[in-house]
Amino acid sequence: MTSKGDTKRQALLRDKAIKHDRREGQNPYTKIILSNLCQGMKLLDIGCGTGHILQALASTCAGIQFFGLDISDAMIQIAKSNNSSSPNVLFIRGDGMALPFSGLSLDVVINRLAEYSPHEAYRALQQGGYFFEYGLGPDADREIKEFFGNRIEVESFCIPRVMDKWKEEVCRGLADAGFTIEGIEDYREQERFRDEEALMDTIEMVPLVKDFDRSKDRDIVKALAQQYGGENGISTTWHYYIVKARKQ
């Protein structure tokens, strides 16, 4: 990722992958957010990407103002296109480390796998406001770590200092910013790729591997596919957590 966020190619690959999968509106993350929304609220999605989470939320909640923030111009353009029929969704190019919102101006802030400042999220929320974070658990993409070893992009994985205290570690920044942690749950799923090309799309999109080259690294991907492939495609581990925090 550059200082301007994801590239146009990464944005297009992400949009393609989500549209093929179509689970964005049917997962625990969107469900817990929806269960805490009320008419008249203002919600910000930090690192909104291609806008599919806001698309799912806005299709259910017409009486809420949604804001999507992303540092990538390419992501913002695709997000606007995906949400063109939702007048209550506004997209802004901006940095999650310095939110372009005044203090106490938002009711809910959410973040899914994007860089952000817990202190900025806390500042922008009203008293009693909620923060929801979807982050990586330590078992996520363990098959990629197994086959690519020390070539993995460390920032794209959860590598805790103490394994049995990893939940405390991922919540520490929020607690230090002043949030009260109301709960953290983790989930494990099997992520399936229809073929080696789809798997390489994800490795390149995130990115998961340093200096990944589809031609040079094809033999490694083929070996991974042989180890973890089957009739339903190539299976990898998806491990994530959802934190619910509140500004008291």
Spell out the SS3 assignment of 82-127. HCCCCCCEEEEECECCECCCCCCCEEEEEEECCCCCHHHHHHHEEE
pLDDT, residue 2, reads 43
Task: Please check whether residue 179 is in contact with residue 122, taking contact to mean a CB–CB distance below 8 angstroms.
Answer: yes
Taking residues 50-75, report their average pLDDT.
95
Contacts of 99 (CB under 8 A, 6+ apart): 44, 46, 69, 117, 120, 121, 123, 124
- pLDDT above 60 for 23: no
pLDDT at 159: 97
Alpha carbon of 49 to those of 2, 86, 170, 182, 189: distances in Å? 14, 16, 22, 26, 22
Nearest to 43, CA basis, from 18, 22, 69: 69
In sequence order, what E strands does 155-232 have? 180-193, 229-230
- End-to-end, the C-alpha distance of the chain in Å comes to 34
Token output for 7: 């590239």
**What mean pLDDT value characterizes the chain?**
95
Q: Can you give the pLDDT at residue 18?
A: 85
Give the model confidence (pLDDT) of 183-240 as tens digits: 999 999 999 999 999 999 999 999 999 999 999 999 999 999 999 999 999 999 999 9
| pLDDT on residue 26 | 65
Instruction: Supply the pTM of this predicted model.
Output: 0.93
Q: Which sign, positive or negative, has the C-alpha torsion 159, 187, 67, 91?
A: positive
For 48-61, what is the mean pLDDT?
95
| % of the chain beyond a pLDDT of 70 | 96
Cα–Cα distance measured from residue 212 to residue 196, given in angstroms and rounded to the nearest whole number: 14
Domain 8-140+157-191+238-246 bears CATH identifier 3.40.640.10: no
Q: Which two tokens stand for residue 190?
A: 């099997």
Show me where the domains of the chain are located.
8-140+157-191+238-246
Owner of token pair 């406001």: 129
